[in-house]
Structure 1
Protein backbone atom coordinates (compact mmCIF):
# COMPACT_ATOMS: atom_id res chain seq x y z
CA UNK A 1 0.00 0.00 0.00
CA UNK A 2 2.75 2.40 0.91
CA UNK A 3 5.49 3.72 -1.31
CA UNK A 4 8.75 5.22 -0.37
CA UNK A 5 9.64 8.86 -1.08
CA UNK A 6 13.41 8.65 -1.20
CA UNK A 7 14.79 5.94 -3.43
CA UNK A 8 18.11 5.77 -1.65
CA UNK A 9 19.50 6.07 1.83
CA UNK A 10 21.74 9.11 1.83
CA UNK A 11 25.11 7.72 0.84
CA UNK A 12 28.15 9.69 1.84
CA UNK A 13 26.63 10.69 5.17
CA UNK A 14 26.30 7.45 7.08
CA UNK A 15 26.95 4.92 4.32
CA UNK A 16 29.12 1.91 5.04
CA UNK A 17 32.63 2.16 3.62
CA UNK A 18 34.10 -0.96 5.15
CA UNK A 19 36.78 -3.13 3.63
CA UNK A 20 37.10 -6.85 3.74
CA UNK A 21 40.74 -7.39 4.63
CA UNK A 22 42.68 -7.60 1.40
CA UNK A 23 39.46 -7.36 -0.53
CA UNK A 24 40.09 -4.38 -2.74
CA UNK A 25 38.55 -0.95 -2.81
CA UNK A 26 36.06 0.44 -0.34
CA UNK A 27 32.40 0.44 -1.23
CA UNK A 28 29.26 2.17 -0.04
CA UNK A 29 25.77 0.81 -0.08
CA UNK A 30 22.41 2.46 -0.59
CA UNK A 31 19.00 1.18 0.43
CA UNK A 32 16.82 0.07 -2.50
CA UNK A 33 13.22 1.04 -3.03
CA UNK A 34 11.27 -1.09 -0.65
CA UNK A 35 9.83 0.38 2.51
CA UNK A 36 7.04 -2.14 2.96
CA UNK A 37 9.06 -5.13 1.92
CA UNK A 38 7.41 -8.46 3.01
CA UNK A 39 9.47 -10.77 5.12
CA UNK A 40 11.21 -13.65 3.41
CA UNK A 41 9.54 -17.00 3.87
CA UNK A 42 12.63 -18.16 5.76
CA UNK A 43 13.13 -14.96 7.70
CA UNK A 44 14.31 -15.68 11.23
CA UNK A 45 12.07 -14.88 14.13
CA UNK A 46 13.00 -14.32 17.76
CA UNK A 47 14.28 -17.56 19.18
CA UNK A 48 14.19 -18.53 22.83
CA UNK A 49 17.52 -19.94 23.89
CA UNK A 50 18.08 -23.10 25.83
CA UNK A 51 19.67 -23.04 29.29
CA UNK A 52 21.64 -26.10 30.28
CA UNK A 53 21.52 -27.02 33.95
CA UNK A 54 24.80 -27.36 35.85
CA UNK A 55 25.93 -30.86 36.66
CA UNK A 56 24.60 -32.45 39.81
CA UNK A 57 21.49 -30.36 40.27
CA UNK A 58 19.19 -33.24 39.39
CA UNK A 59 17.37 -31.33 36.65
CA UNK A 60 16.73 -33.37 33.53
CA UNK A 61 15.61 -32.03 30.18
CA UNK A 62 12.01 -32.73 29.27
CA UNK A 63 11.46 -35.78 27.07
CA UNK A 64 8.32 -34.24 25.64
CA UNK A 65 4.88 -35.80 25.29
CA UNK A 66 4.53 -38.67 22.85
CA UNK A 67 1.77 -39.03 20.31
CA UNK A 68 0.27 -41.88 22.36
CA UNK A 69 0.20 -39.70 25.47
CA UNK A 70 -1.82 -37.10 23.59
CA UNK A 71 -4.35 -39.44 21.96
CA UNK A 72 -7.75 -39.13 23.63
CA UNK A 73 -6.54 -36.59 26.18
CA UNK A 74 -8.66 -33.52 26.85
CA UNK A 75 -7.01 -30.36 25.62
CA UNK A 76 -6.69 -27.51 28.10
CA UNK A 77 -9.32 -24.81 27.67
CA UNK A 78 -8.40 -21.84 25.52
CA UNK A 79 -7.92 -18.58 27.37
CA UNK A 80 -11.04 -16.41 27.23
CA UNK A 81 -11.05 -13.83 24.47
CA UNK A 82 -11.07 -10.25 25.53
CA UNK A 83 -14.35 -8.57 24.82
CA UNK A 84 -14.07 -6.16 21.91
CA UNK A 85 -15.64 -2.88 22.92
CA UNK A 86 -14.61 -0.82 19.93
CA UNK A 87 -16.79 0.19 17.03
CA UNK A 88 -17.03 -2.47 14.33
CA UNK A 89 -16.04 -1.14 10.93
CA UNK A 90 -18.20 -3.06 8.45
CA UNK A 91 -16.56 -1.44 5.42
CA UNK A 92 -13.05 -2.49 6.39
CA UNK A 93 -14.33 -5.90 7.42
CA UNK A 94 -15.83 -6.47 3.97
CA UNK A 95 -12.60 -5.19 2.38
CA UNK A 96 -10.49 -7.66 4.36
CA UNK A 97 -12.80 -10.50 3.28
CA UNK A 98 -12.37 -9.51 -0.36
CA UNK A 99 -15.96 -8.30 -0.71
CA UNK A 100 -14.88 -5.16 -2.52
CA UNK A 101 -18.21 -4.04 -3.98
CA UNK A 102 -19.84 -4.27 -0.56
CA UNK A 103 -16.89 -2.53 1.08
CA UNK A 104 -16.97 0.32 -1.42
CA UNK A 105 -20.71 0.77 -1.01
CA UNK A 106 -20.46 0.99 2.78
CA UNK A 107 -17.33 3.16 2.75
CA UNK A 108 -18.60 5.60 0.14
CA UNK A 109 -21.68 6.45 2.18
CA UNK A 110 -19.51 7.27 5.19
CA UNK A 111 -16.88 9.03 3.07
CA UNK A 112 -19.47 11.41 1.68
CA UNK A 113 -20.47 12.21 5.26
CA UNK A 114 -16.88 13.20 6.13
CA UNK A 115 -15.53 10.00 7.74
CA UNK A 116 -11.74 10.22 7.18
CA UNK A 117 -11.06 6.49 7.62
CA UNK A 118 -13.75 5.64 5.09
CA UNK A 119 -12.39 8.26 2.70
CA UNK A 120 -8.98 6.58 2.88
CA UNK A 121 -10.53 3.20 2.10
CA UNK A 122 -12.42 4.63 -0.88
CA UNK A 123 -9.22 6.25 -2.14
CA UNK A 124 -7.28 3.02 -1.78
CA UNK A 125 -9.89 0.95 -3.61
CA UNK A 126 -10.17 3.48 -6.42
CA UNK A 127 -6.42 3.73 -6.83
CA UNK A 128 -6.07 -0.06 -7.03
CA UNK A 129 -9.25 -0.74 -9.00
CA UNK A 130 -10.87 -2.91 -6.33
CA UNK A 131 -14.65 -3.10 -6.59
CA UNK A 132 -14.56 -0.31 -9.16
CA UNK A 133 -12.59 0.67 -12.22
CA UNK A 134 -9.24 2.23 -11.41
CA UNK A 135 -9.63 6.00 -11.08
CA UNK A 136 -6.39 7.61 -9.81
CA UNK A 137 -7.69 11.16 -10.14
CA UNK A 138 -10.77 10.57 -7.98
CA UNK A 139 -8.63 8.52 -5.60
CA UNK A 140 -6.35 11.54 -5.20
CA UNK A 141 -9.38 13.67 -4.31
CA UNK A 142 -10.42 11.25 -1.57
CA UNK A 143 -6.85 10.96 -0.25
CA UNK A 144 -6.85 14.75 0.03
CA UNK A 145 -10.17 14.76 1.89
CA UNK A 146 -8.97 12.06 4.31
CA UNK A 147 -5.62 13.79 4.82
CA UNK A 148 -7.35 17.05 5.71
CA UNK A 149 -9.52 14.98 8.05
CA UNK A 150 -6.42 13.77 9.92
CA UNK A 151 -6.09 10.13 8.81
CA UNK A 152 -2.35 9.24 9.07
CA UNK A 153 -2.33 6.73 6.19
CA UNK A 154 -4.05 9.23 3.92
CA UNK A 155 -1.69 12.02 4.94
CA UNK A 156 1.25 9.84 3.93
CA UNK A 157 -0.26 8.87 0.58
CA UNK A 158 -1.37 12.41 -0.18
CA UNK A 159 2.10 13.71 0.64
CA UNK A 160 3.53 11.36 -1.97
CA UNK A 161 1.04 12.61 -4.55
CA UNK A 162 1.87 16.23 -3.76
CA UNK A 163 5.60 15.56 -4.01
CA UNK A 164 5.27 13.98 -7.44
CA UNK A 165 2.41 16.09 -8.76
CA UNK A 166 0.40 12.98 -9.67
CA UNK A 167 -3.25 13.91 -10.24
CA UNK A 168 -2.79 16.93 -7.98
CA UNK A 169 -0.84 20.17 -8.27
CA UNK A 170 2.72 19.64 -7.13
CA UNK A 171 3.25 21.38 -3.78
CA UNK A 172 6.40 20.52 -1.86
CA UNK A 173 5.60 22.68 1.16
CA UNK A 174 2.21 21.06 1.63
CA UNK A 175 3.72 17.62 0.96
CA UNK A 176 6.29 18.16 3.71
CA UNK A 177 3.57 19.33 6.08
CA UNK A 178 1.45 16.23 5.55
CA UNK A 179 4.50 13.93 5.72
CA UNK A 180 5.51 15.45 9.06
CA UNK A 181 1.98 15.21 10.43
CA UNK A 182 1.69 11.57 9.34
CA UNK A 183 5.04 10.82 10.95
CA UNK A 184 4.06 12.52 14.20
CA UNK A 185 0.79 10.56 14.12
CA UNK A 186 2.77 7.29 14.09
CA UNK A 187 2.75 6.19 10.45
CA UNK A 188 5.92 4.08 10.10
CA UNK A 189 6.51 4.78 6.41
CA UNK A 190 5.99 8.50 6.94
CA UNK A 191 8.44 8.45 9.85
CA UNK A 192 11.13 6.98 7.62
CA UNK A 193 10.42 9.37 4.76
CA UNK A 194 10.29 12.42 7.00
CA UNK A 195 13.67 11.40 8.41
CA UNK A 196 14.97 11.17 4.85
CA UNK A 197 13.68 14.67 4.14
CA UNK A 198 15.33 16.08 7.26
CA UNK A 199 18.70 14.56 6.37
CA UNK A 200 18.38 15.68 2.76
CA UNK A 201 17.61 19.27 3.63
CA UNK A 202 19.97 19.55 6.60
CA UNK A 203 23.28 17.95 5.62
CA UNK A 204 25.61 16.95 8.41
CA UNK A 205 25.18 16.39 12.12
CA UNK A 206 22.17 18.70 12.50
CA UNK A 207 20.05 16.75 10.01
CA UNK A 208 21.04 13.39 11.45
CA UNK A 209 20.25 14.56 14.96
CA UNK A 210 16.78 15.75 13.92
CA UNK A 211 16.10 12.67 11.82
CA UNK A 212 17.30 9.96 14.20
CA UNK A 213 14.17 9.90 16.45
CA UNK A 214 12.00 9.35 13.37
CA UNK A 215 14.30 6.64 12.04
CA UNK A 216 14.18 4.96 15.44
CA UNK A 217 10.38 5.07 15.66
CA UNK A 218 10.05 3.67 12.16
CA UNK A 219 12.63 0.98 12.91
CA UNK A 220 10.76 -0.07 16.02
CA UNK A 221 7.66 -0.60 13.86
CA UNK A 222 9.59 -3.01 11.62
CA UNK A 223 10.57 -0.88 8.59
CA UNK A 224 13.78 -2.54 7.39
CA UNK A 225 15.08 0.60 5.63
CA UNK A 226 14.81 2.48 8.92
CA UNK A 227 16.49 -0.33 10.83
CA UNK A 228 19.37 -0.17 8.38
CA UNK A 229 19.58 3.62 8.74
CA UNK A 230 19.60 3.41 12.55
CA UNK A 231 22.39 0.84 12.46
CA UNK A 232 24.50 2.99 10.15
CA UNK A 233 23.95 6.14 12.21
CA UNK A 234 24.71 4.39 15.50
CA UNK A 235 28.03 3.08 14.21
CA UNK A 236 29.08 6.08 12.10
CA UNK A 237 28.17 9.25 13.99
CA UNK A 238 30.77 10.31 16.52
CA UNK A 239 28.49 11.75 19.21
CA UNK A 240 26.27 8.66 19.52
CA UNK A 241 26.34 7.34 23.09
CA UNK A 242 27.92 3.97 23.87
CA UNK A 243 24.60 2.38 24.78
CA UNK A 244 23.22 3.08 21.31
CA UNK A 245 26.48 2.25 19.55
CA UNK A 246 26.30 -1.18 21.19
CA UNK A 247 22.89 -1.73 19.55
CA UNK A 248 24.07 -1.00 15.99
CA UNK A 249 24.69 -4.62 15.04
CA UNK A 250 21.32 -5.70 16.46
CA UNK A 251 19.51 -3.20 14.21
CA UNK A 252 21.54 -4.27 11.19
CA UNK A 253 20.68 -7.89 11.96
CA UNK A 254 16.96 -7.07 12.13
CA UNK A 255 17.08 -5.42 8.71
CA UNK A 256 19.05 -8.37 7.31
CA UNK A 257 16.58 -10.90 8.71
CA UNK A 258 13.75 -8.93 7.11
CA UNK A 259 15.25 -9.77 3.72
CA UNK A 260 16.90 -6.42 2.97
CA UNK A 261 19.80 -7.46 0.75
CA UNK A 262 21.83 -4.29 1.41
CA UNK A 263 21.62 -4.96 5.14
CA UNK A 264 22.57 -8.58 4.50
CA UNK A 265 25.66 -7.39 2.64
CA UNK A 266 26.66 -4.96 5.39
CA UNK A 267 25.90 -7.55 8.07
CA UNK A 268 28.37 -9.83 6.32
CA UNK A 269 30.99 -7.08 6.12
CA UNK A 270 30.51 -6.14 9.77
CA UNK A 271 30.90 -9.74 10.90
CA UNK A 272 34.02 -10.29 8.80
CA UNK A 273 35.58 -7.00 9.93
CA UNK A 274 34.39 -7.13 13.54
CA UNK A 275 32.30 -3.95 13.36
CA UNK A 276 29.85 -3.53 16.24
CA UNK A 277 30.92 -6.82 17.81
CA UNK A 278 33.27 -9.79 17.48
CA UNK A 279 34.41 -11.21 14.16
CA UNK A 280 32.54 -14.25 12.86
CA UNK A 281 33.78 -15.32 9.44
CA UNK A 282 31.28 -18.15 9.03
CA UNK A 283 28.24 -15.98 9.71
CA UNK A 284 29.76 -13.18 7.67
CA UNK A 285 30.06 -15.52 4.71
CA UNK A 286 26.46 -16.74 5.18
CA UNK A 287 25.01 -13.22 5.10
CA UNK A 288 27.20 -12.21 2.18
CA UNK A 289 26.04 -15.26 0.25
CA UNK A 290 22.36 -14.45 0.91
CA UNK A 291 22.78 -10.98 -0.54
CA UNK A 292 24.79 -12.28 -3.50
CA UNK A 293 22.15 -14.88 -4.34
CA UNK A 294 19.59 -12.06 -4.50
CA UNK A 295 21.68 -10.32 -7.12
CA UNK A 296 23.37 -7.70 -4.96
CA UNK A 297 26.39 -6.80 -7.09
CA UNK A 298 28.59 -5.53 -4.24
CA UNK A 299 27.90 -8.72 -2.30
CA UNK A 300 28.85 -10.82 -5.32
CA UNK A 301 32.13 -8.92 -5.55
CA UNK A 302 32.93 -9.31 -1.85
CA UNK A 303 31.90 -12.98 -1.85
CA UNK A 304 34.53 -13.59 -4.50
CA UNK A 305 37.14 -12.20 -2.11
CA UNK A 306 35.91 -14.49 0.68
CA UNK A 307 36.38 -17.55 -1.54
CA UNK A 308 39.89 -16.43 -2.50
CA UNK A 309 40.92 -15.73 1.10
CA UNK A 310 39.03 -18.74 2.56
CA UNK A 311 37.17 -16.55 5.06
CA UNK A 312 34.15 -18.45 6.36
CA UNK A 313 34.37 -20.97 3.52
CA UNK A 314 36.81 -23.28 1.77
CA UNK A 315 38.99 -21.74 -0.93
CA UNK A 316 37.36 -22.29 -4.32
CA UNK A 317 38.91 -20.53 -7.34
CA UNK A 318 36.09 -21.45 -9.73
CA UNK A 319 33.38 -20.24 -7.35
CA UNK A 320 35.37 -17.06 -6.67
CA UNK A 321 35.69 -16.46 -10.40
CA UNK A 322 31.97 -17.10 -10.94
CA UNK A 323 30.97 -14.35 -8.50
CA UNK A 324 33.56 -12.01 -9.98
CA UNK A 325 32.23 -12.62 -13.50
CA UNK A 326 28.70 -11.83 -12.32
CA UNK A 327 29.74 -8.60 -10.61
CA UNK A 328 31.92 -7.57 -13.57
CA UNK A 329 29.02 -8.11 -15.96
CA UNK A 330 26.96 -5.76 -13.79
CA UNK A 331 29.61 -3.08 -14.21
CA UNK A 332 31.61 -3.40 -10.99
CA UNK A 333 35.34 -3.16 -11.65
CA UNK A 334 37.93 -4.74 -9.37
CA UNK A 335 41.56 -4.86 -10.54
CA UNK A 336 42.59 -7.33 -7.84
CA UNK A 337 39.90 -9.78 -8.90
CA UNK A 338 40.72 -9.24 -12.55
CA UNK A 339 44.36 -10.21 -11.87
CA UNK A 340 43.14 -13.27 -9.96
CA UNK A 341 40.83 -14.26 -12.81
CA UNK A 342 43.52 -13.90 -15.47
CA UNK A 343 45.77 -16.15 -13.41
CA UNK A 344 43.34 -19.07 -13.65
CA UNK A 345 43.68 -21.84 -16.20
CA UNK A 346 41.57 -21.77 -19.33
CA UNK A 347 39.51 -24.67 -17.97
CA UNK A 348 38.84 -22.88 -14.66
CA UNK A 349 37.77 -19.73 -16.50
CA UNK A 350 35.43 -21.77 -18.68
CA UNK A 351 33.89 -23.45 -15.62
CA UNK A 352 33.39 -20.07 -13.94
CA UNK A 353 31.71 -18.57 -17.01
CA UNK A 354 29.44 -21.62 -17.33
CA UNK A 355 28.49 -21.32 -13.66
CA UNK A 356 27.81 -17.60 -14.04
CA UNK A 357 25.62 -18.28 -17.09
CA UNK A 358 23.55 -20.74 -15.06
CA UNK A 359 23.11 -18.39 -12.10
CA UNK A 360 19.57 -17.38 -11.22
CA UNK A 361 18.63 -14.95 -8.49
CA UNK A 362 16.97 -16.65 -5.55
Structure 2
Protein backbone atom coordinates (compact mmCIF):
# COMPACT_ATOMS: atom_id res chain seq x y z
CA UNK A 1 0.00 0.00 0.00
CA UNK A 2 2.95 2.33 0.65
CA UNK A 3 3.98 2.29 -3.03
CA UNK A 4 0.45 3.13 -4.11
CA UNK A 5 0.25 5.98 -1.62
CA UNK A 6 3.59 7.29 -2.87
CA UNK A 7 2.18 7.41 -6.41
CA UNK A 8 4.41 4.68 -7.80
CA UNK A 9 2.69 3.02 -10.79
CA UNK A 10 3.87 -0.50 -9.86
CA UNK A 11 2.61 0.03 -6.30
CA UNK A 12 -0.71 1.35 -7.59
CA UNK A 13 -1.10 -1.66 -9.86
CA UNK A 14 -0.20 -4.09 -7.10
CA UNK A 15 -2.61 -2.50 -4.66
CA UNK A 16 -5.30 -2.52 -7.35
CA UNK A 17 -4.70 -6.23 -7.90
CA UNK A 18 -5.10 -6.87 -4.17
CA UNK A 19 -8.37 -4.93 -4.18
CA UNK A 20 -9.78 -6.73 -7.22
CA UNK A 21 -8.97 -10.13 -5.74
CA UNK A 22 -9.68 -9.28 -2.11
CA UNK A 23 -6.15 -10.35 -1.12
CA UNK A 24 -5.70 -9.23 2.47
CA UNK A 25 -8.18 -6.40 1.99
CA UNK A 26 -11.87 -6.08 1.28
CA UNK A 27 -12.67 -6.44 -2.41
CA UNK A 28 -13.24 -2.99 -3.95
CA UNK A 29 -13.34 -2.98 -7.73
CA UNK A 30 -14.08 0.74 -8.01
CA UNK A 31 -11.03 1.67 -5.96
CA UNK A 32 -8.98 -0.91 -7.88
CA UNK A 33 -10.04 0.69 -11.17
CA UNK A 34 -8.90 4.08 -9.87
CA UNK A 35 -5.51 2.66 -8.92
CA UNK A 36 -5.16 0.87 -12.25
CA UNK A 37 -6.05 4.12 -14.03
CA UNK A 38 -3.41 6.02 -12.05
CA UNK A 39 -0.83 3.31 -12.80
CA UNK A 40 -1.77 3.37 -16.48
CA UNK A 41 -1.50 7.15 -16.62
CA UNK A 42 1.91 6.76 -14.97
CA UNK A 43 3.05 4.59 -17.87
CA UNK A 44 2.45 1.14 -16.37
CA UNK A 45 1.35 -1.19 -19.19
CA UNK A 46 -0.01 -3.80 -16.78
CA UNK A 47 -2.06 -1.07 -15.15
CA UNK A 48 -3.63 -0.36 -18.57
CA UNK A 49 -4.22 -4.08 -19.14
CA UNK A 50 -5.84 -4.52 -15.73
CA UNK A 51 -7.99 -1.40 -16.13
CA UNK A 52 -9.20 -2.64 -19.53
CA UNK A 53 -10.75 -5.64 -17.75
CA UNK A 54 -12.79 -3.34 -15.50
CA UNK A 55 -14.03 -0.49 -17.70
CA UNK A 56 -17.55 -0.55 -19.14
CA UNK A 57 -16.78 1.58 -22.20
CA UNK A 58 -15.85 -0.77 -25.11
CA UNK A 59 -13.83 1.92 -26.89
CA UNK A 60 -11.80 2.68 -23.78
CA UNK A 61 -11.28 -1.03 -23.23
CA UNK A 62 -9.92 -1.47 -26.76
CA UNK A 63 -7.68 1.60 -26.40
CA UNK A 64 -6.25 0.36 -23.11
CA UNK A 65 -5.65 -3.12 -24.46
CA UNK A 66 -3.84 -1.72 -27.46
CA UNK A 67 -1.68 0.49 -25.23
CA UNK A 68 -0.77 -2.53 -23.11
CA UNK A 69 -0.08 -4.71 -26.14
CA UNK A 70 2.10 -2.08 -27.80
CA UNK A 71 4.09 -1.93 -24.57
CA UNK A 72 4.75 -5.67 -24.86
CA UNK A 73 1.98 -7.29 -22.80
CA UNK A 74 1.35 -10.30 -25.04
CA UNK A 75 -1.82 -11.39 -23.25
CA UNK A 76 -3.26 -7.93 -23.92
CA UNK A 77 -2.90 -8.53 -27.66
CA UNK A 78 -4.78 -11.82 -27.40
CA UNK A 79 -7.55 -10.28 -25.29
CA UNK A 80 -7.73 -7.35 -27.72
CA UNK A 81 -8.22 -9.85 -30.55
CA UNK A 82 -11.01 -11.54 -28.60
CA UNK A 83 -12.74 -8.21 -27.98
CA UNK A 84 -12.39 -7.15 -31.62
CA UNK A 85 -13.80 -10.50 -32.71
CA UNK A 86 -16.83 -9.99 -30.48
CA UNK A 87 -17.38 -6.70 -32.32
CA UNK A 88 -17.15 -8.48 -35.72
CA UNK A 89 -13.91 -6.65 -36.52
CA UNK A 90 -12.40 -9.90 -37.73
CA UNK A 91 -9.57 -8.58 -39.89
CA UNK A 92 -8.21 -6.52 -36.99
CA UNK A 93 -8.77 -9.43 -34.62
CA UNK A 94 -6.78 -11.80 -36.81
CA UNK A 95 -3.94 -9.27 -36.94
CA UNK A 96 -3.77 -9.20 -33.15
CA UNK A 97 -4.05 -12.99 -32.87
CA UNK A 98 -1.07 -13.29 -35.20
CA UNK A 99 0.80 -10.59 -33.25
CA UNK A 100 0.27 -12.47 -29.98
CA UNK A 101 1.00 -15.84 -31.62
CA UNK A 102 4.32 -14.54 -32.92
CA UNK A 103 5.19 -13.70 -29.33
CA UNK A 104 4.39 -17.17 -27.99
CA UNK A 105 0.75 -16.92 -26.84
CA UNK A 106 -0.63 -20.45 -27.23
CA UNK A 107 -4.31 -19.48 -27.37
CA UNK A 108 -3.53 -16.92 -30.06
CA UNK A 109 -1.62 -19.55 -32.04
CA UNK A 110 -4.65 -21.80 -32.01
CA UNK A 111 -6.98 -18.92 -32.90
CA UNK A 112 -4.73 -17.82 -35.78
CA UNK A 113 -4.55 -21.39 -37.11
CA UNK A 114 -8.30 -21.91 -36.93
CA UNK A 115 -9.10 -18.48 -38.36
CA UNK A 116 -6.78 -19.03 -41.32
CA UNK A 117 -8.27 -22.50 -41.79
CA UNK A 118 -11.84 -21.19 -41.74
CA UNK A 119 -11.30 -17.83 -43.44
CA UNK A 120 -12.19 -15.48 -40.58
CA UNK A 121 -10.58 -12.09 -41.03
CA UNK A 122 -8.93 -13.21 -44.27
CA UNK A 123 -9.54 -15.60 -47.11
CA UNK A 124 -8.85 -19.20 -46.08
CA UNK A 125 -5.11 -19.84 -46.04
CA UNK A 126 -4.30 -23.47 -45.25
CA UNK A 127 -0.54 -22.82 -45.38
CA UNK A 128 -0.83 -20.25 -42.58
CA UNK A 129 -3.23 -22.53 -40.69
CA UNK A 130 -0.82 -25.46 -40.78
CA UNK A 131 2.07 -23.14 -39.97
CA UNK A 132 0.41 -22.16 -36.68
CA UNK A 133 -0.59 -25.75 -35.94
CA UNK A 134 3.11 -26.68 -36.38
CA UNK A 135 4.20 -23.82 -34.11
CA UNK A 136 1.75 -25.02 -31.44
CA UNK A 137 3.27 -28.49 -31.69
CA UNK A 138 6.79 -27.07 -31.37
CA UNK A 139 5.64 -25.35 -28.15
CA UNK A 140 4.38 -28.64 -26.73
CA UNK A 141 0.70 -28.35 -27.65
CA UNK A 142 -0.33 -31.13 -30.01
CA UNK A 143 -3.99 -30.13 -30.15
CA UNK A 144 -3.72 -28.71 -33.65
CA UNK A 145 -1.76 -31.46 -35.36
CA UNK A 146 -4.92 -33.48 -36.03
CA UNK A 147 -6.36 -30.40 -37.73
CA UNK A 148 -3.22 -30.18 -39.89
CA UNK A 149 -3.51 -33.85 -40.79
CA UNK A 150 -7.15 -33.40 -41.77
CA UNK A 151 -6.29 -30.45 -44.02
CA UNK A 152 -3.48 -32.38 -45.67
CA UNK A 153 -5.51 -35.57 -46.13
CA UNK A 154 -8.42 -33.59 -47.57
CA UNK A 155 -6.10 -32.42 -50.34
CA UNK A 156 -6.39 -28.79 -49.28
CA UNK A 157 -2.58 -28.58 -49.38
CA UNK A 158 -0.04 -30.17 -51.64
CA UNK A 159 3.40 -31.28 -50.45
CA UNK A 160 5.07 -28.02 -51.42
CA UNK A 161 2.50 -26.03 -49.43
CA UNK A 162 3.05 -28.29 -46.43
CA UNK A 163 6.79 -27.65 -46.76
CA UNK A 164 6.07 -23.90 -46.96
CA UNK A 165 4.09 -24.17 -43.72
CA UNK A 166 6.97 -26.03 -42.08
CA UNK A 167 9.46 -23.42 -43.28
CA UNK A 168 7.27 -20.57 -41.96
CA UNK A 169 6.95 -22.41 -38.65
CA UNK A 170 10.69 -22.96 -38.47
CA UNK A 171 10.08 -26.70 -38.34
CA UNK A 172 10.70 -28.43 -41.69
CA UNK A 173 10.77 -31.79 -39.87
CA UNK A 174 7.12 -31.39 -38.89
CA UNK A 175 6.28 -30.80 -42.54
CA UNK A 176 8.08 -33.96 -43.64
CA UNK A 177 6.34 -35.94 -40.88
CA UNK A 178 2.97 -34.63 -42.06
CA UNK A 179 3.78 -35.50 -45.66
CA UNK A 180 4.71 -39.01 -44.52
CA UNK A 181 1.43 -39.30 -42.65
CA UNK A 182 -0.56 -38.22 -45.70
CA UNK A 183 1.29 -40.69 -47.89
CA UNK A 184 0.27 -43.44 -45.49
CA UNK A 185 3.51 -43.70 -43.59
CA UNK A 186 2.11 -42.39 -40.32
CA UNK A 187 -0.84 -42.97 -38.07
CA UNK A 188 -3.48 -40.37 -37.21
TM-score, structure 1 normalization: 0.41
- Corresponding residue of 1:262: 75
Which of 221, 229, 233 is 2:42 aligned to?
Answer: 221
Aligned-partner SS, 2:35:
helix
Aligned-partner SS, 1:250:
helix
* Change beyond 3 A, Cα 1:332–1:210: farther
TM-score, structure 2 normalization: 0.75
Number of corresponding residues: 165
- Corresponding residue of 1:247: 60
CA distances 1:102-157 after superposition (whole Å, capped 9, x unpaired): xxxxxxxxxxxxxxxxxxxxxxxxxxxxxxxxxxxxxxxxxxxxxxxxxxxxxxxx
Q: What is the RMSD computed on CA atoms of the aligned residues?
A: 2.6
Q: Which runs of 5+ in 2 are unaligned?
A: 173-188
Output the CA distance in 2 between the equivalents of 1:272 and 1:252: 14
Whether the 8 Å contact between 1:318 and 1:351 is mirrored in structure 2 is yes
**2:25 corresponds to 1:212:** no
4+ residue segments displaced more than 6 Å: none
Output the CA distance in 2 between the equivalents of 1:330 and 1:339: 15
Higher relative contact order (CA 8 A, sep 6+): 1
- Corresponding residue of 1:283: 92
**2:147 corresponds to 1:340:** yes
Q: Which runs of 5+ in 1 are unaligned?
A: 1-179, 235-241
Residue 303 of structure 1 and its aligned partner are, at CA, apart by 0.7
- Corresponding residue of 1:182: 3
Which of 127, 134, 142 is 1:325 aligned to?
Answer: 134
Larger radius of gyration: 1
* Change beyond 3 A, Cα 1:269–1:330: same
